[in-house]
Amino acid sequence: MTHFLLGGTSGWQRTALIVFWLCVLAIPIGTVLLFTGLSFTDLPSVTELENPKNNEASPVLASDGTVLGRYFVENRVMVDFKDLGPHLESALVSTEDERYYNHSGIDWRSLPRVVIKTAIMGDESAGGGSTITQQLAKLLFTGQASSNIIERGFQKFKEWIIAVRLERKYTKEEIIAMYLNRYDFINGAQGIRAAAENYFDGKRPADLDVQEAAMLIGMLKNASLYNPLRFPERTQERRNQVLAQMVRNERITKTDFDSLSLLPLGVKFTRQRHDDGLAPYFRMVLAEEAKKILAQEPYLKSSGQSYDLYRDGLTFYTTIDPLLQRHAEQEVKVHMKQLQEQFFRHWKNMDPWTYTNPGSETEVRVERRQESLTNAIRQSDRYQMYRHRILSPVLRKITAKFDFRFSANDREVERMVEEAKNPGVIAETVRLNLISNDFAARHRQVMKLPEFKELQTAWAKLQQTVKAEFDKEVEMRVFTYDNARMETDTLMTPLDSVRYHKMILQIGSMSVEPSTGYVRTWVGGSDFKWFQYDHVTTKRQVGSTFKPFVYAASIDLRGITPCQKVLDQPVTIGPGDGNFHLGKEWTPRNASGGYTYEDYTLYQGLKNSVNSISAYLMKELGSTEPIRNMVANMGIPKEEIPDAPSIALGSVDLTVQQMTGAYTTFGNNGVFTRPVYLTRIEDRTGRVIYEYLPEERPAISPQANYVMVNMLSRASVGNLGGVKGPVGGKTGTTNDQTDGWYMGLTPELIVGTWVGGDDRWIRFRSLALGAGSNMAKPFFRRFVRSAQEDEQVGWNTEAGWIKPSGELGIEMDCNAYNGGNEDLFRDGQSLPDDPFGNSPDF
């Protein structure tokens, strides 16, 4: 046949025809062979195509479905095509791929241009040839183009193959959504959802105006080049090019373009951070709890690995009520600002680190306070900067000489330096069981090195540098209540800055819906940006807030009436009494230091926190077991309650979370419902990974519980002006006023609140100021009152306490019980006037 085709032609004509037919046959065959060969290289598998890797953020949802915040490495939240709205799709297709709906991944009509400009010339911004699907393939799998022409050509072929495969796996709409979800719009905005939120003040993609959608689509060409924060004019020109393309593709009219192109960018940028949004302390605690849950075998991935809440796009469903949470956070600022001002006035010209009270038996030693201040200095960024420069070089030399792990923290270095000056320091530390003999031996090995002299010199230089530099005033930013940003620039020494921030009082508050156990609010501190230690989950001494458990056990188990009178006199529990197993006598004193020797009903004893009456009830019970067992049924582990009669006065350390959970029993007819804040976890496809199971159990008989609710209501009549409906509660104050508590009860919410300093010596020196009635109770009043006034909250002020049917069997009318008039609200203690108008309960 070749002879026939070439017959009668000249030599050059035959050569041309041979080349022509070779090209006609070779190019298709070569292309097929190339595509076939590339298909066996490192192209993504079917599984990878179906599950492309994304660092997808995990949203935390409030009870109404709104987003409290997100856990993320990249702030990427995947959205479906239906959630993009009409403008993004029309802008994208008009600008990036006009024939998108008419090809299967490769636009053959634009192929020559993309081969020349992109594959050969390496012009990545040329555009116009790579389809949307190819751009997605590049984002997901191939990455940035190589500088080598041949490698760039192979990479382009791979993108074609991947694009065709993607078109087979996904619909056109899904590919658009995947592309916009995957693109990095920079400035912390990974994906279209974050881009809309960050650049346009929290907008959702579907809510974007035409010109806003056009700006974001314009950034697809080169987000750094068209960065609206750095190059607004250039970005506006690019946006208008996108709008012009939309006119060309008849997505908007020329009239629309004329008006839209004149508009400013309208960027209102807000960078999303982990601590942005409501309930940051809660979300920090939730993250740790979620990690524990997801590490358990039933909740692992099919591969056996744990889910990553920062990358796997999980959704966390919580019980936090955003309206109530907003009220709680606002009222914390109001209350704590007022309390902090009072605290600074109280300590004016005095020093909490050196103050001593000779009459206190529990005050923290000055030496311990100074040590704590030194530790706080060493944890500061400024100290660590000096340490890295002066001490770290010699520590690295020493560490390199040992196979064992050398602990090079400041405490160990200081101990060795002190040992060199005063032999015996290490031996004394071993004797006190602060370090082991092996650890001490390692210290001595280090001290024998020639580099130890260098370590001593460096340590001395570091201390001298820190002492000098920390006493120099410098410009710095500190925490304040005086503006919405909660920070201000000032001139202060670094030492004063450390002391100042340590003197900021903290708060921990949680509220729970008693009937469901749903946690509705969570405030873990005064300000999350500056103080990230959560005080809802921190153990502190609970004081008199524990006394209602003693009363409840006495009423429930012994059937006594709250009208029973008890003489306020010393009560002693000694060796051999009951089943207390004491080695020496225990005789508690009242907060006033003395006794009235008058009769008090249990109503009055609880209201006034009379210690002698709590001790009397404990002695009558004959053991701590009834109380510990009852409290265990109220959700507090029994092993955390000491087997000591002093628990009757609140000597135990517990968390706000534990105490609030226990008090929900009073609000739920004596039935404990374990507080829950995480109800469900879903993966990115909506499959339920984890779902909570409610846990409840009876703890107090309904009759005794109703009596206790009545007692708590009468015990908390003062300082609750403006709160509507039934309300009760109990204050708590610990030794030296180091902890102020208030456990507030309403039928709608149980609110537990603790206030104090991170260090125990950050405290008020007087009972009037340091009592729970001044420290914590005003927050409860402010929070409940503001929530009740908010119509959106829908607080039911008509709801009442649950009263069991039938006869109580416990007399609550003290007039009838005592056969005459009875003053239920007589104060049994004489307290100084409270500057905040609080009742004299503590």
Sign of the dihedral defined by the CA atoms of residues 804, 810, 814, 817, in that order:
positive
C-alpha distance from residue 806 to each of 13, 408, 499, 555 (Å): 116, 70, 59, 18
Residues 6 or more apart whose CB falls under 8 angstroms from that of 538 comprise 508, 655, 656
DSSP state of 141: I
State the pLDDT at residue 104: 72
State the pLDDT at residue 159: 78
State the burial class of residue 752 (Cβ atoms within 10 Å of its Cβ: 0-12, 13-18, 19+): buried
- Give me the CATH code for the 508-818 domain, please: 3.40.710.10
Q: What is the pLDDT of residues 172-220, one digit of tens each?
A: 999 999 999 989 999 888 899 999 999 998 899 999 999 999 999 999 9
Indicate left, alpha or beta for 819 from its phi (over 0: left) and psi (-120 to 50: alpha): left
Alpha-carbon distance of 777 to 765, in angstroms, equals: 18
Answer whether residue 347 shows pLDDT above 70. Answer: yes
Indicate left, alpha or beta for 185 from its phi (over 0: left) and psi (-120 to 50: alpha): alpha
Q: How far is CA 167 from the centre of its chain?
A: 41
Q: What is the average per-residue pLDDT within 740-767?
A: 96
Q: What is the pLDDT of residues 16-41, one digit of tens each?
A: 666 655 655 555 554 444 445 444 44
Alpha-carbon distance of 112 to 385, in angstroms, equals: 57
305 token code pair: 């690995």
State the pLDDT at residue 365: 93
Q: What percent of the chain has pLDDT over 90?
A: 66
Alpha-carbon distance of 568 to 554, in angstroms, equals: 18
State the pLDDT at residue 278: 94
Helix boundaries (H) for 538-624:
547-558, 602-607, 611-621
Tokens 């200095």 belong to residue: 377
- Which of 99-113, 273-287, 306-320, 454-468 comes out lowest in average pLDDT? 99-113
Answer whether residue 128 shows pLDDT above 50. Answer: no
Q: What is the average per-residue pLDDT within 792-808?
A: 91
> Which range scores top for mean pLDDT: 42-56, 400-414, 729-743?
729-743
Q: Higher model confidence: residue 122 or residue 240?
A: 240
> Which range scores top for mean pLDDT: 34-38, 70-74, 684-688?
684-688
Q: Higher model confidence: residue 54 or residue 459?
A: 459
Q: How far is CA 788 from the centre of its chain?
A: 26
**Per-position DSSP letters for 31-97, written without gaps between them:** HHHHHHHHTTSSPPPHHHHHS----B-EEEE-TTS-EEEEE-SS------GGGS-HHHHHHHHHHH-
Alpha-carbon distance of 683 to 301, in angstroms, equals: 10
- Comma-separated ranges of CATH 1.10.3810.10 domains in the chain: 76-260
Q: Higher model confidence: residue 828 or residue 361?
A: 361
Q: How far is CA 304 from the centre of its chain?
A: 27
Residue pair 657/512 in contact (Cβ under 8 Å)? The answer is: no
Q: How many CB atoms neighbour CB 523 within 10 A?
A: 29
Q: What is the pLDDT of residues 524-574, one digit of tens each?
A: 999 999 999 999 999 999 999 999 999 999 999 999 999 999 999 999 999
**Per-position DSSP letters for 253-275, written without gaps between them:** -HHHHHHHTTS----B-----TT
Q: Higher model confidence: residue 833 or residue 673?
A: 673
State the burial class of residue 493 (Cβ atoms within 10 Å of its Cβ: 0-12, 13-18, 19+): middle
The full length of the chain comes to 842
Residue pair 656/536 in contact (Cβ under 8 Å)? The answer is: yes
State the pLDDT at residue 201: 86
Residue pair 769/777 in contact (Cβ under 8 Å)? The answer is: no
Count Cβ neighbours within 10 Å for each residue of 103-116 and write b for 16 or more, e otherwise. bebbbeebeeebee
> Which range scores top for mean pLDDT: 155-159, 396-400, 819-823?
396-400
State the pLDDT at residue 263: 96
State the burial class of residue 832 (Cβ atoms within 10 Å of its Cβ: 0-12, 13-18, 19+): exposed
Instruction: Give the global pTM.
Output: 0.80
At 647, which amino acid appears?
I
Pairing of strands 671-673, 540-541: unpaired
CA angle 154, 157, 162 (to 5 degrees): 125
- Give me the CATH code for the 76-260 domain, please: 1.10.3810.10
Answer whether residue 667 shows pLDDT above 50. Answer: yes
- Which of 37-41, 382-386, 725-729 comes out lowest in average pLDDT? 37-41
Residue pair 698/548 in contact (Cβ under 8 Å)? The answer is: no
CA angle 459, 465, 471 (to 5 degrees): 135
- What phi, psi does 73 have (nearest 5°)? -95, -45
Q: What is the average per-residue pLDDT within 519-528?
A: 97
Q: What is the pLDDT of residues 259-269, one digit of tens each?
A: 999 999 999 98
Answer whether residue 824 shows pLDDT above 60. Answer: no
For residue 727, give the nearest of 656, 777, 679 by alpha carbon.
777
Q: How many CB atoms neighbour CB 390 within 10 A?
A: 19
Strand residue runs (E) in 570-673? 599-601, 653-654, 671-673
Q: What percent of the chain has pLDDT over 70?
A: 85
- What phi, psi does 251 have (nearest 5°)? -90, -30
Q: pLDDT class for 591, splitting at 50, 70, 90?
A: confident
- What phi, psi does 297 have (nearest 5°)? -55, -45
Q: How far is CA 803 from the centre of its chain?
A: 38
Indicate left, alpha or beta for 598 from its phi (over 0: left) and psi (-120 to 50: alpha): beta
Mean pLDDT value across the chain:
87
- Comma-separated ranges of CATH 3.40.710.10 domains in the chain: 508-818
